[in-house]
Chain A
Amino acid sequence: MTQEFWKMVLGRLNFESLDFLKAFYDPTLNEVILTGAAWAVLAGGALGVAVLTYFRLWGPMWRKYLVSVDHKRIGIMYIVLAFLMLARGVIEGVVMRAQQADGLGGGFLSADHYAQLFSTHGTIMIFFFAMPFLTGLINIVVPLQIGARDVSFPMLNSVSLGLTVSGAMLIMISLVLGKFSTGGWTAYPPYTESTFQPGVGPDYWIWSLMLAGVGSTLTGINFVVTILKERAPGMTLMKMPMFTWTALCTSILMVFALPPLTVAAGMLAYDRYLGFHFFTNALGGNMMNFANLLWLFGHPEVYILILPAFGVYSEIVATYSGKRLYGYGSLVVATMVIAILSFTVWLHHFFTMGQDANVNAAFGIATMLIGVPTGVKVYDWMATMYRGRVRFSVPMVYMVAFMMLFVIGGLTGIILANPSIDFQVHNTLFLVAHFHNMLIPGLLFGMLAGYTYWFPKVFGFRLNDKWGYVSAYCWITGFVLVFFPLYIVGLMGMTRRTVAYTNPAYEPWMIVSGIGGLVVTVALATLVLQLYVSIRDREYTRDIGGDPWDARTLEWATPSPIPAYNFAVIPHIHAREAFAVAKEAGMGYQEPKKYSDIHLPGDTYMGVIMAVFGTGFGFGMIWYMWWLAIVCFAVMAVAFVGRALRGDRAAVIIPAAQVEAEHRAWLERVRKLAPITREHEQDGTNYGVAAPDQGAAA
């Protein structure tokens, strides 16, 4: 009786599920690492709680962030989440490199543990590092670039964040309770069916992706509408900054590419929970359809990830070359073409599944085609730099490294696009090297460049340059050291996702790669150090004027840190790169003719509710605690309906007089500051007002 009661309450959860006790029974290195990770999560959580309590930050965090619908605050929360998950993802990657460096005939990890590592590493990096980071950047930057006060649906924005957080929470919980899937981030059945993995692993995968996926779909809807409907008067589509264009295309991709993932994960859930036969071996299931559905999502996803980074690079290259962006129209067209073509190439992820040569050829050709608009972009960026006065600031270091490394990665992609070559290197580390070569320079570098570039706009001080350079060079060399050897061993035939190997010829390359892992660890550590030093020395890097880089687009025409209402008065836009043109005309800082009251959307609890009860719902489903899942789902539904019946919270009204006073005070400060030339960009004299660039070539 009591046993049945506890089974109902706790579902599948039992003593065996407690990862943080495992090493005490079985103190091998493998188990110690597993247990250590669980304790690290627990300790990290406890430390977070302790810090918040000690500094009495619970109240401010709740009021200023958790319930806020301010797009900048939501963006910051996304990026904080992304950095936390990046730390875990990088550490997992480094552990895998260490294992393989030691992996000739053994190593220190069990095969099962290694499989968990590559599964969580991939899942985290794609869904809980890359997606939150780019969503955060889009959140912060897009409304500013288009001259809007907020997004179209601020409450929905908070809900999206809540759902993303709940997915990330589930992934973190998987370190402490139970075993994650060993089926890779793609979770191919039938291996992920309950016949082969009856435990909670694939269920963690399913529910964290479902929750985060719904959040991303809603984000996509939100930003398509925001970009199409909230632009400042005069800003036609072809006057939008390039980052906004890429954000628009990424948002469209989110709306249309996430559904296949929802379908694939949903069908897998049907199979696992209700005994359906979508992808099983027996009774007419068709597991090949899963690969098809997953990559229907997966390929557009690649461009969801990479397009915003292209946008960041487009902004950066123009700013740090002191020139207008070359080939704006071709960049716009290339972005749109990529967005469409990204839906026509998914089969190249499974060339070897057995379809005939005609099918493979069709998708191989489409894959080669998609390289063309990407190439156009690279040429546009180079032409922007050509005869510009290029400053190799930290974002520009990332940018130049990206251009060189990304082209190499792109060329290996063209190699893989040929089905007959793909048959040779499929499932080897060559492939692993290829997609890391696309995503690390193409995504991670772009995100870090954007982080460095827009940081002063959000927080009002610049990041430390010295540690920024150290970090950038560590990321770049670390990346090259880790992944270029993988091309070679891949061509030698070393398969991916194998814990150990017996061919001694691989070992030297694996050791080089392992050393690269150490460099990447240093890069991550210096990123943390940079943030610490920057906060400590913030008095010396104040950005008051709001334009520390002599930048070109609308977001830099505002004070830093930027006020909640973004723009005291919404400007009318007459030009592409409006702020740069205004500065050239000596009209960068105009006095508005008239101020009005500003209405801002009120706070909401919906995001917090989604995060807490979304996590509870997923947890209940994973561990078969049906009562918990039902209760949490009911709370979410009731909250949604209740909110709909009650209507929006009252808007916050900021009176015109206050706006006027704040804005006048800022204009006064700008007038008093000495404009600096670009030679002093990294000095303590850069207070964010740029002197006209006399030497600039038109």
Chain B
Amino acid sequence: MSGNSTAIYAAPGLSFEAEEHHDHDHAGKALSGFWLFMMSDLIIFGLFFATYATMLTPMSYAGGPTPKDLFELPGAAMETAALLTSTLTFGFASLAVKYDMGRGKVLGWLAVTLALGMVFLGLEIREFVHMFAIGAVPERSGFLSSFFGLVPLHGAHVTAGSIWLIIMMIQIARKGVDETAKSRLARLALFWHFLDIIWIGIFSVVYLGGIA
């Protein structure tokens, strides 16, 4: 079969070596898998954004409130400040893990992050309550439906991230910063920073774009 012995078809095809092939990089695989999940999630957010953008028409306002009537800068600015700071404090928590600065520091920074996340959620809920009070409910118009499709979806992600943070804090408090905790914190950090990037899109498109 000399015709087949190109480099790609080199004999003997397969062989057994003395050393077994062992691949224990579970953290690396989990991180890759999580990246894929986030990119899948990114598409979901992107389509809610696109839907929102197409709903910024008089037809979809359906005679109801428009972005200019609803959104206020101070609220959006405070929410942004809370989330932006939380992404920095999570960074400090990651560094505390990376440089083995002890369980206390890690837990401390995670607690600060969680608190900021809670502040963000509180502000967001306050905004929704206010909107409901003035009749800006999702049943009112297509535009409001798309708003309540997009922004609370991000809020739900922050809520899930916060629950995950609490679970991680319990785990670290009980078992310390072991390899499992490190691997999971790396993924949670990714998630948290990712949600912040989505929020950049929301304050730019929904709030600033709506008020401008």
Contact = CB atoms under 8 A, between A and B. Distances in A.
Give yes or no for direct A-B contact (beta carbon below 8 Å): yes
Interface of A: 152-153, 156, 217, 220-222, 224-225, 228-230, 232-233, 238-239, 255-256, 258-260, 262-263, 267, 270-271, 274-278, 280, 282-286, 289, 293, 296, 324, 554, 557, 569-585, 587, 590-594, 596, 641, 644-645, 647, 696, 698
Interface stretch (B44-52, B104-112, B193-201): B44-52
5 contacts: A260-B47, A274-B138, A575-B10, A587-B12, A644-B184
Interface residues of B, number: 58
Contacts of B74: none
B139 A581 contact: no
Contact of A259 (B4, B15, B40): B40
Contacts of A296: 47
Contacts of B30: 153
B33 A585 contact: no
A258 B43 CA distance: 9
B171 interface: yes
Contact of B143 (A222, A284, A577): A284
A284 B51 CA distance: 12
B15 A284 contact: no
Contact of A270 (B10, B62, B149): B149
Contacts of B18: 593-594
Given A289-B51, A289-B54, A276 B10 contact: no
A325 B8 CA distance: 12
Contact of B13 (A280, A284, A578): A578
B178 to A, nearest CB: 10
A585 B60 contact: no
B92 interface: no
B77 interface: no
Nearest to A274: B138
Contacts of A698: 1-4
Contact of A576 (B9, B40, B41, B139): B9
Contact of B44 (A263, A575, A578): A263
Closest 4 CB pairs of A and B: A284-B142, A698-B3, A581-B13, A582-B13
B69 interface: no
Given A267-B51, A283-B141, A575 B40 contact: no
B140 interface: yes
A574 B10 contact: yes
Contacts of B59: 284, 286
A599 to B, nearest CB: 9
Contacts of A280: 142
Interface of B: 1-4, 8-18, 20-21, 23, 25, 28-30, 32-33, 36-37, 39-41, 43-44, 47-48, 51, 54-55, 57, 59-62, 64, 138-146, 148-149, 167, 170-171, 180, 184
Contacts of A587: 11-15
A690 to B, nearest CB: 14
A221 B20 contact: no
Contacts of B16: 569, 571-572, 590-593
Contacts of A278: 51, 142, 145-146, 149
Given A229-B28, A584-B4, A593-B16, A645 B11 contact: no
A645 B17 CA distance: 38
Contacts of A571: 14-16
A581 B9 contact: yes
Contact of B32 (A225, A262, A284, A594): A225
A284 B47 contact: no
| Most chain B beta-carbon neighbours within 10 Å: one of A230, A578, A581 | A581
Contacts of A574: 10-15
A222 B141 CA distance: 40
Given A259-B40, A262-B44, A576-B8, A270 B15 contact: no
B175 to A, nearest CB: 9
B149 to A, nearest CB: 6
A295 to B, nearest CB: 12
